């Protein structure tokens, strides 16, 4: 695969400094018909796993040169993680996120909130964990969620519980329906454990119906499994889905599949062998499909691979940003008025110990 180092313009969506709660992660960018940019992420955090995460949104009306302060949309009792965001037209924004079960903070995630932070941060974390233990069983459960805004993010609906989770949320089809592909997450028996399923909405995201379950390919080995997918409708009406292959060696990678019948059935999955994940899909005005992903194997950084045949092959890989650390990624991309691309992601700003929300502006031809 051809590797391209394009001319880039980099900037900051949000970087916190004078606070314990500097860590930010897992963003998604969206753009409306007026060119306004929206970014959702998990912010106000201490670390990669902690009890404090909130869903925040940032807005830019000048192409990303300046951004609003964080606008908090979710602040539940639990850790609000990921920030999936879609602009679906006519002022409608769709926001997705998930929460870890509260009791997991005392078990499998305890090292993250005690051993991997400063003593002061550990005290804050454990104080919140003690408070979380006082919640009801229902409040402690965790889950995957969705909210809808009909007024460009000014107000939001009540949370809709979803049986699946994916970092970048759903996508919109030409007929106005929404498609959402994700990993089963605390579905209360609605889906088989750890399966990948596709849901559709015909009322703007308020209700959803299951269309299919994607069968894992036979070539997955040992403890490999599919995770963190994204989906888009191609110009010919087919659906293209991309999946993170967890535990793939030597580094996780991306697989793709196509549905010819609106998501009822799927082709056999094909491994792209790119080094990185999870994928975010978008189509450029030129017809090229751009798949953004984070590379967590040296050389670390944010990348995008490009297909000119609707995902059959991926011929170019763009290096968008580099990082000294593997704590990074979840890039997503939108096209701007001049045909350039803006990719938003999380990683450490130069010299920082905690991650911020950053962006890179670039072009498919490598120029500025």
Section 279-283 average pLDDT: 98
Residue 64's closest CA among 125, 28, 10?
Answer: 10
Angstrom distance (rounded) from CA 179 to CA 208: 9
pLDDT higher than 90, residue 265: yes
Cα 194 from chain centroid (whole Å):
18
Q: 């969206």: which residue's tokens?
A: 30
- Residue 351: both structure tokens together: 């010299």
Q: Cβ(277)–Cβ(245) under 8 Å?
A: yes
End-to-end CA distance of the chain: 22
pLDDT higher than 70, residue 5: yes
283 Cβ contact partners less than 8 Å away, ≥ 6 residues apart? 232, 234, 235, 289, 290
Domains of the chain, first to last:
2-13+151-362 (2.120.10.10)
Section 268-287 average pLDDT: 96
Give 367's pLDDT tier (boundaries 50, 70, 90). Answer: low
pLDDT higher than 80, residue 94: yes
Tell me what percent of the residues of the chain surpass a pLDDT of 90: 93
- Residue 302: both structure tokens together: 């944010």
pLDDT higher than 80, residue 250: no
Give 366's pLDDT tier (boundaries 50, 70, 90). Answer: confident
pLDDT of residue 249: 81
The predicted-structure confidence for 63-84, as pLDDT tens digits, reads as follows: 999 999 999 999 999 999 999 9
pLDDT of residue 77: 92
Residue 53's closest CA among 115, 123, 142?
Answer: 142
Q: 């609605």: which residue's tokens?
A: 190
pLDDT higher than 90, residue 365: no
pLDDT higher than 80, residue 350: yes
Average pLDDT, the chain: 96
Section 283-297 average pLDDT: 97
pLDDT higher than 90, residue 248: no
Section 38-48 average pLDDT: 97
98 Cβ contact partners less than 8 Å away, ≥ 6 residues apart? 81, 82, 142, 143, 144, 145, 165, 185
Give 14's pLDDT tier (boundaries 50, 70, 90). Answer: very high
Mark out the alpha helices in 115-237 (DSSP H runs). Answer: 119-132, 137-140
- Residue 154: both structure tokens together: 């000014």
Section 143-165 average pLDDT: 98
268 Cβ contact partners less than 8 Å away, ≥ 6 residues apart? 217, 257
> In terms of C-beta density within 10 A (0-12 exposed, 13-18 middle, 19 or more buried), how is residue 33 classed?
exposed
Angstrom distance (rounded) from CA 158 to CA 242: 29
Give 368's pLDDT tier (boundaries 50, 70, 90). Answer: low
Section 153-181 average pLDDT: 98
The predicted-structure confidence for 106-130, as pLDDT tens digits, reads as follows: 999 999 999 999 999 999 999 999 9
pLDDT of residue 251: 79
Residue 227's closest CA among 82, 344, 346?
Answer: 82
H or E, element range at 110: helix 110-114
Angstrom distance (rounded) from CA 279 to CA 332: 8
């Amino acid at each position: 695969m051809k590797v391209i180092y394009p001319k880039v313009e980099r900037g900051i969506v949000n970087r916190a400094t004078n606070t314990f709660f500097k860590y930010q992660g897992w963003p998604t960018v969206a753009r409306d018909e007026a060119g306004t940019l929206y970014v959702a992420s998990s912010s106000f955090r201490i670390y990669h796993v902690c009890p404090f995460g909130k869903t925040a949104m940032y807005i830019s009306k000048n192409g990303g040169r300046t951004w609003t302060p964080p606008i908090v949309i979710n602040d539940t009792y639990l850790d609000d993680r990921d920030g999936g965001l879609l602009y679906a037209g006519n002022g409608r924004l769709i926001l997705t996120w998930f929460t870890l079960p509260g009791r997991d903070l005392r078990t499998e995630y305890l090292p993250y909130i005690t051993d991997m932070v400063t003593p002061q941060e550990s005290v804050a974390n454990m104080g919140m964990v003690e408070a979380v233990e006082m919640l009801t069983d229902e409040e402690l459960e965790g889950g995957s969620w969705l909210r809808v805004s009909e007024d460009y993010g000014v107000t939001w609906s009540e949370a809709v519980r979803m049986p699946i989770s994916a970092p970048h949320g759903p996508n919109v089809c030409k007929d106005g329906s929404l498609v959402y592909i994700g990993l089963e997450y605390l579905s209360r028996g609605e889906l088989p454990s750890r399966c990948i399923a596709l849901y559709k909405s015909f009322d703007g995201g308020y209700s959803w119906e299951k269309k299919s379950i994607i069968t894992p390919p036979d070539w997955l080995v040992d403890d490999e499994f599919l995770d963190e997918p994204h989906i888009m409708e191609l110009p010919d009406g087919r659906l293209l889905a991309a999946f993170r292959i967890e535990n793939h060696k030597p580094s996780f990678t991306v697989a793709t599949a196509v549905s010819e019948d609106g998501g009822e059935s799927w082709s056999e999955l094909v491994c792209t062998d790119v080094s990185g994940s999870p994928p975010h899909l978008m189509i450029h005005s030129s017809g090229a499909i751009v798949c953004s992903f984070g590379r967590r194997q040296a050389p670390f950084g944010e990348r995008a691979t490009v297909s000119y045949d609707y995902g059959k092959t991926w011929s170019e890989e763009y290096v968008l940003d580099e990082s000294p650390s593997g704590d990074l990624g979840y890039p997503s991309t939108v096209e701007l008025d001049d045909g350039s691309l803006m990719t938003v992601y999380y990683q450490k700003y130069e010299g920082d110990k905690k991650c911020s929300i950053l962006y890179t502006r670039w072009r498919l031809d490598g120029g500025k």
